[in-house]
Amino acid sequence: MTAMQQKGAEGFLHRYEGLRERLPGVRLPWVAALRDVAAVAFRASGLPTRRIEAWRYTDLRAVGEAGFDEALTSLEDGQDLPAMRGSARAVFLDGRFRADLSDLDGVGYAVGSLATELRKLEGRVGALARPEEQPLAALNTMLFEDGLVVTVPAGVEGGVLDLLSVASPTERPSAFHPRHLVRLEPGSSLTLIETATGPEDGRYLHNPVFEIEVGEGATLNHARLQQEGPRAFQLSTVYARVAAGGTYDNFTLNAGGQLVRNEIHTALVGPGGACHMNGAQLLGPGQHADTTTFLDHAAPDCASRQTYKTVLSSKSRGVFQGKILVRRPAQRTDGYQMNQTLFLSPDAEIDSKPQLEIYADDVKCSHGATVGELDAEQLFYLRARGIPGERARAMLVEAFLTEAVEGVSDPVARGALEAAVTGWWSRQMKDAA
Amino acid sequence: MLKIEGLSAEIDGKPILNGIDLEVPTGELHAVMGPNGSGKSTLSYVLAGREGYEVTGGSATFDGQDLLAMEPEERAAAGLFLAFQYPVELPGVGNANFLRTALNALRRTRGEPELDAMQFLKVARERMRALSMPEDMLKRGVNVGFSGGEKKRNEVLQMALLNPRMAVLDETDSGLDIDALRIVADGVNAMRGPAFSALVITHYQRLLEYIVPDRVHVLVGGRIVKSGGPELAKELEVSGYASVQAAA
């Protein structure tokens, strides 16, 4: 890093000024316009501070102070990539698509790189993202270079698509801002399993934005396994729009990273749509993870279920903010939100903020939050049966997560998730030993 | 097998056990009878190693090993089993997973190979049939939504699977109707043999009609005040604990 390098929002704006002639789509006026509008918004907002209500519990100063350079991609081909899940995989290295590491042969839908296909994507990029309201979406819009573009045609069962994001080892902090577009046409289905990983000691910012359109009667299973390196920042924003009779299932595991925000905006815009948003946050020493959801019930007869579980060990901090908005036309809405926290350490902290805003009059909506520790009676019962203390604790933690994990219907996604949970636990045990 | 000498224990500074002397030789089944508040459950919990009980004096050895110095799982590995008076519910932990994990943990300590899911199911089904337990109890959460009788049968199933060298049965008869009582008693009797010992803790003599003890000890005020043969249980049924208390 040079002595003159700027940090904070200025650093990102400076980078945008320097890069804009090289960013994809520079010759596409609509792309340039999107980026310029986003830059204006980002210049006005800066990185969000805790003075903003939506960011009251998550402090981005560490991100502002990091001073990011361009990612110097340096992964050897195929090196250390986790095993592929399902039959197709798209690999992104430092936010850039790597055709050579991907395996997309024979899939029954269109899938490719946003950078390559950008000129065909007018009206899709930015269709759902709201950079004027979310500063991180503005940052992403300003600086996105690449991303995944998936379009599943009407009636096609897409199977499992593995989306792997890898940050390469880096000496200087690097940042990347992929923009992923997923469109399911009517009656189609897809399971998207996303894994994000990075090096043990590298500092980087992964700032992805998803724009997801679920067509009439279509079903998207979206499993996100956030296993970034321990010094990483992941600030992700998902926008999903669900048409009549469509289903969007999002499961997010937050197990890695130092500072993580998982923000999801789902709008149910057609009658009979459904959304399940479940998640688990498994945090250890010094980690901070924030799940913030906005569920917009805009149409009648839709159902939403949210179950978020947080397990906090050592000195870690979890945040859950969940808002359900039921608009006037959204009669017979069935909404449920549950947020539960398990403390494994007295030094941990959780902030939980549910919010209901209801304008329709025929609505079933409930929310709840619980906080607790491992039950001494249960632990003794297991140990009295010969199960060693650590295994007994692991069983109770897994049991705590069950309700959220059971919400993941796809068996491949569920298997991946269970393996990630087990991995987290053994890591905690290793650190404690 | 089990030798308790001068055992005293308290909870939150309140003495509950006040110098218990009790010995259960290998192959014998002894009963401990006592009124409410005499320390019956405390005795079973202290033997199994539950937290919150402070041992203030005396000793308990299991096969010559200092039982009180062992972790609960070490006691189980050594072959001690406690059937709980109030079996604990474990929502989210499947009964089959629980039973197999426990069985394999013990098999590991015994140097036996672990059972895979299929091998385990075969063994478990056999045991469950003997206890008239419906097979779907394997799929449910441990004790979750079980009736009182089902919970007690689940305890006996665990005992049968884990095959301990000594079982402490804490009021296993409470909350059981006569049919369930018979099934549970059959389960215990099936375990009996020259290598199996048991301590049956109960308030009522009823259970001892089905599980006939070699010896009966009367626990009052945290001490064994009287010991005798199986006939002692019947005497208590007639004369009540007050008479023993007065005599002691």
> What values do phi and psi take at B245, rounded to 5?
-60, -45
Return the closest-CA partner of residue A375 out of A351, A350, A352, A399: A399
Segment A225-236 shows an average pLDDT of 96
Lowest mean pLDDT among A81-95, B39-53, B151-165: A81-95
Strand partners, A253: A225, A280
Lowest mean pLDDT among A67-81, B94-108, B118-132, B168-182: A67-81
pLDDT band, very low/low/confident/very high, at A74 (cuts 50, 70, 90): low
In our burial notation (b when 16+ CB lie closer than 10 A, e otherwise), range A338-349 reads bbbbbbbeeebe
Instruction: Output the CA torsion sign for B158, B159, B164, B166.
Output: positive
For residue A402, give how far its alpha carbon lies from the nearest alpha carbon of chain B (Å): 6
pLDDT of res. A60: 95
Cα–Cα distances in Å, from A167 out to A70, A149, A164, A171, A202? Answer: 12, 20, 10, 12, 9
Whether residue A5 has pLDDT greater than 60: no
Helix A29-45, helix A135-143: angle, nearest 10 = 140
For residue A247, being part of any structural domain is answered with: yes
For residue B195, give how far its alpha carbon lies from the nearest alpha carbon of chain A (Å): 20
Whether residue A6 has pLDDT greater than 70: no
Q: How far apart are CA A324 and CA A364, in angstroms?
A: 12
pLDDT band, very low/low/confident/very high, at A428 (cuts 50, 70, 90): confident
Quick check: A381 and B48 CB within 8 A?
no
Average pLDDT across chain A, whole number:
92
Give the domain extent around A189.
8-374
Do residues A249 and A241 make contact, with C-beta atoms less than 8 angstroms apart? Answer: no
A387 vs B: CB within 8 A = yes
A372 vs B: CB within 8 A = no
Instruction: Output the CA torsion sign for A21, A23, A28, A31.
Output: negative
**Which domains does chain B carry?**
2-90+164-247 (3.40.50.300)
Three-class SS of chain A: CCCCCCCHHHHHHHHHHHHCCCCCCCCCHHHHHHHHHHHHHHHHHCCCCCCCHHHCCCCCHHHHHHCCECCCCCCCCCCCCCCCCCCEEEEEECCEECHHHCECCCCCCEEEEHHHHHHHCCCCCCCCCCCCCCHHHHHHHHHCCCCEEEEECCCCEEEEEEEEEECCCCCCCEEECCEEEEEECCCCEEEEEEEEECCCCCCEEECCEEEEEECCCCEEEEEEEEECCCCCEEEEEEEEEECCCCEEEEEEEECCCCEEEEEEEEEECCCCCEEEEEEEEEECCCCEEEEEEEEEECCCCCEEEEEEEEEECCCCEEEEEEEEEECCCCCCEEEEEEEEEEECCCCCEEEEEEEEEECCCCEEEEEEEEEEECCHHHHHHHHHCCCCHHHHHHHHHHHHHHHHHHCCCCHHHHHHHHHHHHHHHHHHHHHHC
Whether residue B86 has pLDDT greater than 50: yes
Do residues A94 and A176 make contact, with C-beta atoms less than 8 angstroms apart? Answer: yes
DSSP B85: S
For residue A400, being part of any structural domain is answered with: no
One-letter amino acid at A5 equals: Q
Tell me the three state secondary structure of residue B223. strand
The radius of gyration of chain B's CA atoms, rounded to the nearest angstrom, is 18
Tell me the three state secondary structure of residue B108. helix
Can you tell me which residue has the tokens 């043999």? B193
Tokens representing B197 are: 């010992």
Quote the ipTM score. 0.96
Do residues A24 and A146 make contact, with C-beta atoms less than 8 angstroms apart? Answer: yes
Give A-chain residues touching B92 at CB under 8 angstroms. Answer: 398-403
Segment A385-402 shows an average pLDDT of 92
Nearest CB neighbour to B102, from listed A376, A386, A389: A386
Tell me the residue ranges of DSSP E strands in B27-100.
29-33, 54-62, 65-66, 80-83, 90-94
pLDDT band, very low/low/confident/very high, at A418 (cuts 50, 70, 90): confident
Quick check: A380 and B101 CB within 8 A?
no
For residue A403, being part of any structural domain is answered with: no
Q: How far apart are CA B135 and CA A49, in angstroms?
A: 56
pLDDT of res. A4: 45
pLDDT band, very low/low/confident/very high, at A1 (cuts 50, 70, 90): very low
Quick check: A382 and B90 CB within 8 A?
yes
Quick check: A384 and B105 CB within 8 A?
no
Strand partners, A268: A242, A297
Quick check: A387 and B105 CB within 8 A?
yes
Q: What percent of chain B has pLDDT over 70?
A: 99
For residue A341, being part of any structural domain is answered with: yes
pLDDT of res. B12: 93
Whether residue A34 has pLDDT greater than 50: yes
Instruction: Tell me which range, A4-18, A60-74, B215-229, is most confidently predicted by mean pLDDT.
Output: B215-229
- pLDDT per residue over A150-200, tens digit each? 999 999 999 999 999 999 887 889 999 999 999 999 999 999 999 999 998
Nearest CB neighbour to A385, from listed B92, B97, B158: B158
Quick check: A380 and B71 CB within 8 A?
no
Tell me the three state secondary structure of residue B29. strand
Q: How far apart are CA B20 and CA A70, in angstroms?
A: 74
Whether residue A3 has pLDDT greater than 50: no
Query: What total number of domains does chain A contain?
Result: 1
Tokens representing A188 are: 């189609």
Instruction: Output the CA torsion sign for B227, B230, B233, B234.
Output: negative
Nearest CB neighbour to B88, from listed A377, A386, A387: A377
B73, B98, B104, best to mutate vs chain A, most A CBs in 10 Å: B73
Cβ-Cβ contacts under 8 Å between A and B: the total is 74
| Count of residues in chain A | 433
Quick check: B90 and A387 CB within 8 A?
no
For residue A416, being part of any structural domain is answered with: no
Lowest mean pLDDT among A11-20, A66-75, A138-147: A66-75
Which distant-in-sequence residues (6+ apart) come within 8 Å of A430 by Cβ? none
Q: How far apart are CA A231 and CA A204, in angstroms?
A: 7
DSSP B89: P
The radius of gyration of chain A's CA atoms, rounded to the nearest angstrom, is 21
Cα–Cα distances in Å, from B216 out to A180, B28, B80, B208, B228? Answer: 74, 11, 20, 10, 5
For residue A386, give how far its alpha carbon lies from the nearest alpha carbon of chain B (Å): 4
Quick check: A376 and B51 CB within 8 A?
yes
Helix B178-191, helix B148-162: angle, nearest 10 = 10
Give B-chain residues touching A398 at CB under 8 angstroms. Answer: 92-93
Nearest CB neighbour to A380, from listed B72, B105, B109: B72
Q: What percent of chain A has pLDDT over 90?
A: 80
Give B-chain residues touching A382 at CB under 8 angstroms. Answer: 90, 98, 102
A418 vs B: CB within 8 A = no
Quick check: B72 and A400 CB within 8 A?
no
Can you tell me which residue has the tokens 């503005």? A138
In our burial notation (b when 16+ CB lie closer than 10 A, e otherwise), range B136-151 reads ebbebbbbeebeebbb
Tokens representing B116 are: 């895979």
pLDDT band, very low/low/confident/very high, at A241 (cuts 50, 70, 90): very high
Residues 26-65 of A with CB under 8 A from B: none
Average pLDDT across chain B, whole number:
93
Cα–Cα distances in Å, from A164 out to A83, A177, A217, B201? Answer: 10, 14, 27, 59
Strand partners, A311: A282, A342
pLDDT of res. A76: 57
A424 vs B: CB within 8 A = no
Return the closest-CA partner of residue B148 out of B173, B129, B185: B173
Tokens representing B114 are: 């672990």
Quick check: B105 and A388 CB within 8 A?
yes
Return the closest-CA partner of residue A283 out of A212, A348, A366: A348
pLDDT of res. B246: 66
Instruction: Output the CA torsion sign for B55, B57, B61, B66.
Output: positive
For residues A78, A81, A82, A87, the Cα torsion angle rounded to the nearest 10 degrees is: -50
B19: part of which helix (H) or strand (E)?
Answer: strand B14-24
Quick check: A384 and B73 CB within 8 A?
yes
Quick check: A382 and B109 CB within 8 A?
no
